[in-house]
Amino acid sequence: MRHALMEDPEKLSGLLREVGLTSVHVWCEEFRHAWSVESLLRMQLRCGMPARRLATLSAPRQAACRARVEERLNRLSSEDLVARHRALYGVARRPG
């Protein structure tokens, strides 16, 4: 994960050209995803570090932890549940 090598359109364009690609077009847009409490919980509880940590707990403690997290998430507004990220997109061609 070397984000600094491609953190802006100019850097990503340079990398694509450096490996011999042509017709390079790179742009940046905001990526937004509106989570529901249930979809966010489902995703967090099934993958990544939260899932691995939860798996170390007994079933009753897992249930209690999930209930506490769900209760806290339910206090958030729908706007609080929107993920916003800057996304860099690129399209290029291989010569030939």
Domain ranges within the chain, ordered by starting residue? 3-93
Q: Which tens digit of pLDDT belongs to each residue from 35-59?
A: 999 999 999 889 889 899 999 999 9
Instruction: Decide: 23 and 92 in contact? Cβ < 8 Å.
Output: yes
pLDDT class for 3, splitting at 50, 70, 90? confident
User: What's the mean pLDDT in 70-90?
Assistant: 95
Question: Average pLDDT, whole number, for the chain?
Answer: 93
pLDDT class for 29, splitting at 50, 70, 90? very high
Q: Is the pLDDT of residue 1 over 80?
A: no
User: What's the mean pLDDT in 58-83?
Assistant: 96
pLDDT of residue 5: 86
pLDDT class for 34, splitting at 50, 70, 90? very high
3-state secondary structure of 86: strand
The CA distance from 14 to 12, in Å, is 5
Instruction: Decide: 73 and 41 in contact? Cβ < 8 Å.
Output: yes
